[in-house]
Structure 1
């Protein structure tokens, strides 16, 4: 009795585009939003928490500033911060996690250090760093989120890399005297694409979450900056007067998180499934 060769599932381009395009459109709109804003983000155009009308399509915020203009201008800083956090965390965790898998003795120490760092509550660590940072603000929050995000990501990458390292072709390459950088870049890294894309998507969403929470704690972005997370905190007291001042940025943050996760999942390579034995 023989086993049929597993056939790699294919994904239609249309299905991938359906998941990727919404995220790309939202990111493009957020990046070009400042050019499309009908009003200045710091100039009052209505009464505080004014209702939506011809002068302000989504009404006014707590100071009467145009909610639509601030919504269009507030996405770029949040996306840039979350993207920087995701890129740095994923890159650092990839290098350390693969090293931990290829060098087991060193890996045990790295994983123990990661376990200790994970014990520190993320919100508490961000508050400590942001408050101790000389100028505070968005840079402090991003730095704290990056440092605190790496240990968890290292555990994920190391766990995914361990089975790859144990395969015959990696052991053969190591026995043949191939250097560490070659094993990392040519043998292990290509087999972690799915894990790394998923990790990047999660870290991006985590970056959005961290910046948003920091804004609620009056850390990170500061008035009068136009930022989706800051808009939610600033306008929460007047949500019954002009719901759009809070609902619009909340919807934008939610759509951004969902869109990026769907895009990362769509871009991950499909995993082959073994066929039924013949």
Structure 2
């Protein structure tokens, strides 16, 4: 008698997976936003020897100046998350408006497409450096401005591609026949049907902004000492990684955990086709 293989355990439902991923993504967000209240030591006061190993006085050891690594990690994510949120909100909002209007105004659509083609040819790192050099202080605001400037053309192309399937829908043509304005049709008839696309775009732009801001910090563009910032911590403590690896690993893992969990939530909440299209762009 042929043995019947055991049935595979049922996979968690999509809502259950989504709730799990939301909980995981909330951890780094809460850690970064509420971290300053949980820090056991002062941000700038040395509590141990430089690059000291983890011990009783410092759970993750000391950094290059003997400051508590854990306390600086708990402080270091606030500005990164707020900056990434600002970039994703501005980029997604602008792209949603321009993308919906572009499908109704072909001339504007062609102009935006040519702008996106130019932006694609410009390496992101070079664009960040050029904008940072042109900015008055070359600090964090320059990086945020660069991320927004470089991200909008890609985002507009994604929204326009999704909106083009709706531009000739019956309810859109009826609204245009009634004499409704382009802005009205874009905001009231097309945009509400692109919620999945906009949600996916927001999540992906947030993850991209995290990487862009962090990469700029590694290149000494953005916050400068003695600021507490995850990317700045990695750069400052790299020379002592063999003495206290946690001074580099802790902020690096925080950046990776934040980006990965938000990316997983975005993929879970959005339809596969929309996510794939946004990822390709």
What TM-score results when the alignment is normalised by the length of structure 1? 0.89
Aligned equivalent of 2:142, options 133, 140, 143? 140
- The CA deviation at 1:262 is 2.0
- Distance (Å, rounded) in 1 between the aligned partners of 2:226 and 2:146: 23
- Distance (Å, rounded) in 2 between the aligned partners of 1:270 and 1:251: 27
- The CA deviation at 1:221 is 1.2
Deviates more, 1:156-165 or 1:67-76: 156-165
RMSD value over aligned CA atoms? 1.6
Q: Which residue of 1 aligns with 2:132?
A: 130
Contact 1:193 1:269 in 2 (8 A): no
Q: Which residue of 1 aligns with 2:230?
A: 228
Q: Which residue of 2 aligns with 1:30?
A: 32
**Any idea what the Cα deviations from partners look like across 1:227-273, whole Å, max 9, x if unmatched?**
111111111111111111111111111110011112223333688xx
- The CA deviation at 1:177 is 1.8
Contact 1:193 1:268 in 2 (8 A): no
Change (3 A) 1:253 1:218: same
- Distance (Å, rounded) in 2 between the aligned partners of 1:194 and 1:35: 35
Q: Which residue of 2 aligns with 1:113?
A: 115
Q: Which residue of 2 aligns with 1:197?
A: 199
Q: Which residue of 1 aligns with 2:171?
A: 169
Q: Which residue of 2 aligns with 1:93?
A: 95
Contact 1:20 1:266 in 2 (8 A): no
**Any idea what the Cα deviations from partners look like across 1:173-212, whole Å, max 9, x if unmatched?**
2222222232112211122111111111111111111111
- Distance (Å, rounded) in 2 between the aligned partners of 1:19 and 1:166: 37
- Distance (Å, rounded) in 1 between the aligned partners of 2:243 and 2:153: 43
Contact 2:100 2:160 in 1 (8 A): yes
**Within-5 A mapping of 1:36-55:** 36-55=38-57
- The CA deviation at 1:52 is 0.1
- Distance (Å, rounded) in 1 between the aligned partners of 2:46 and 2:133: 31
- Distance (Å, rounded) in 1 between the aligned partners of 2:137 and 2:272: 45
Q: What SS does the corresponding residue of 2:238 show, helix, strand or coil?
A: helix
Structure 2: runs of 5+ lacking an equivalent: 1-12, 274-281
- Distance (Å, rounded) in 2 between the aligned partners of 1:256 and 1:12: 21
- Distance (Å, rounded) in 2 between the aligned partners of 1:134 and 1:262: 37
- Distance (Å, rounded) in 1 between the aligned partners of 2:201 and 2:94: 12
**Within-5 A mapping of 1:145-164:** 145-164=147-166
Q: What SS does the corresponding residue of 1:164 show, helix, strand or coil?
A: coil
- Distance (Å, rounded) in 1 between the aligned partners of 2:61 and 2:106: 59
Which structure is richer in relative contact order (CA contacts within 8 A, separation 6 or more)?
1
**Any idea what the Cα deviations from partners look like across 1:13-45, whole Å, max 9, x if unmatched?**
433211112112321221010011011111111
For these two proteins, the number of residue pairs brought into alignment is: 261
Q: Which residue of 1 aligns with 2:72?
A: 70
Q: What SS does the corresponding residue of 1:163 show, helix, strand or coil?
A: coil
Q: What SS does the corresponding residue of 1:165 show, helix, strand or coil?
A: coil
